[in-house]
Amino acid sequence: MSKSFEILDVSLRDGSHSVRHAFTEEQVRAVAKGLNAAGVRYFEVSHGDGLGGSSLQYGLSATDELKLIETAVSECTTSEVSVLLIPGIGTKENLQAAARLGAKMVRVATHVTEADVAAQHIQLGRELGLKTAGFLMMSHMAPVEKIVEQAKLFESYGAEIVYVTDSAGAMLPQDVTARIQALRQELQCEIGFHAHNNLSMAMANTIAAVESGATYIDGSIRALGAGAGNTQTEVMVAVLEKLGYQADIDLYKILDVANQVIAPMMQQPQEITGGSLLLGHAGVYSSFLLHAQKAAQQFGVDERDILMELGRMKTVGGQEDLIYEVAQHLIKA
């Protein structure tokens, strides 16, 4: 089968959550060099919560993200650097700075029902000459009709790609198929899919996305990412090749990045634990896991109870402060 998709690697953005935003210039340089050599067209470099995310609420970065972007760009000969921007966290000035340093793509991320807050950022991305995408986070929380409505808003603002984003790792393949097929029928732009592996469904969901018409799919080396991580890039390359697709990524070289570069910098194995499993089961934003673990230790409560309550409350990205309020409430209860 001829190639019909691009693999975008998020190890240096979503993976930032897993290492508590402690990437160094040397680590980013090594990963960028390896991804470029392996033939990965796009890879993302930002704080885990996007441009401007370094803060007490979201986690302070050990190294300025603009320096990390500059370092990554310097290693690219064929690859291109993408950045993530969440309106309300990142600003237009942050995006302009990233573009000056050589970023070639921006993905503007909003909650699945709030695409309207992204208009000015998507328009700026196009004005800066960046490949520009809209990123519908927590897509499991909205019915197909609402996702189509919000995706059309992104497209009307100028988005060249619209992503269905399973931020909680809560979807099953049929959920992905329904959403991607609906967008494929209703939109003229390209469609992307971003998975988390909290229910061990990331690879199956990614295959469902490709077979339903997604043209951009995300992965991370060694599954390095929030919660139980993302679809594992090197595994995805191998699986898609077995299915007959041409991924145009050198399997040996991407394995070298996984084993020789990423593995030594991981703080713990990326696996499905009780906490990450409950993220998917309860439909909780994947980056909440480390905050929930910290709150559980601080207040002496079970992290699983925190996550289940957050799911019941239908919390969304940006409500990290609620995690600690929930922990305190559990003590009183």
What's the mean pLDDT when you consider all of the chain?
95
Within this chain, do residues 38 and 131 fall inside the same structural domain, yes or no?
yes
| 219, 9 contact by CB (below 8 A) | yes
Kindly state the tokens that stand for 320. Answer: 């990290």
* pLDDT tens figures, 262-284: 999 998 889 998 899 999 999 99
Tell whether 194 is in a known binding site.
Answer: yes
Rounded to whole angstroms, the Cα distance separating 134 from 210 reads 18
Pair 15, 100 in one domain: yes
Residues 206 and 294 in one domain: no
Integer angstrom CA distances of residue 15 from 98, 138, 262:
19, 18, 10
Residues 260 and 309 in one domain: no
The reply to whether 81 and 227 lie within a common domain is yes
Contact, 75 vs 113, CB < 8 A? no
Q: How far apart are CA 287 and CA 279, in angstroms?
A: 9
For residues 292 and 154, membership in a common domain is answered with no
| Spatial separation of the C-alpha atoms in residues 90 and 30, rounded to whole Å | 26
User: Is residue 275, in this structure, part of any structural domain at all?
Assistant: no
- 3-class SS shares of the chain: helix, strand, coil, % to 5: 50, 15, 35
For residue 167, say whether it is annotated as part of any ligand binding site.
Answer: yes
Q: What is the per-residue pLDDT for 317?
A: 81
Asked, for residue 272, whether it belongs to a domain, the answer is no
In this structure, the answer to whether residues 312 and 168 fall within a common structural domain is no
Residues 261 and 300 in one domain: no
Q: Are residues 298 and 261 in the same domain?
A: no
- Judge whether 277 lies within some domain: no
Whether residues 88 and 24 share a domain: the answer is yes
Query: Looking at residue 189, which CATH number applies to its domain?
Result: 3.20.20.70
**Per-residue model confidence (pLDDT) at position 3:** 58
Do the domain assignments include residue 210?
Answer: yes
- Note down pLDDT in tens along the chain; length 333 residues: 455 789 999 999 999 999 999 999 999 999 999 999 999 999 999 999 999 999 988 899 999 999 999 999 999 999 999 999 999 999 999 999 999 999 999 999 999 999 999 999 999 999 999 999 999 999 999 999 999 999 999 999 999 999 999 999 999 999 999 999 999 999 999 999 999 999 999 999 999 999 999 999 999 999 999 999 999 999 999 999 999 998 899 999 999 999 999 999 998 889 998 899 999 999 999 999 989 999 999 999 999 999 999 999 999 888 888 999 999 999 887
Judge whether 222 is annotated as a binding position. no
d(CA 330, CA 139): 28
Q: Is the dihedral of CA 171, 174, 180, 186 positive or negative?
A: negative
Find out whether 13 is annotated in a ligand binding site.
yes
Residue 197: which domain range? 6-265
Let me know if residue 299 belongs to a domain.
yes
Number of domains in the chain: 2
Active centre residues (catalytic): 17
Of 283, 281, 166, which Cα lies nearest the Cα of 229? 166
Pair 257, 303 in one domain: no
* CB contact at 8 A, 210 and 180: no
CATH code for position 323: 1.10.8.60
Q: Are residues 259 and 291 in the same domain?
A: no
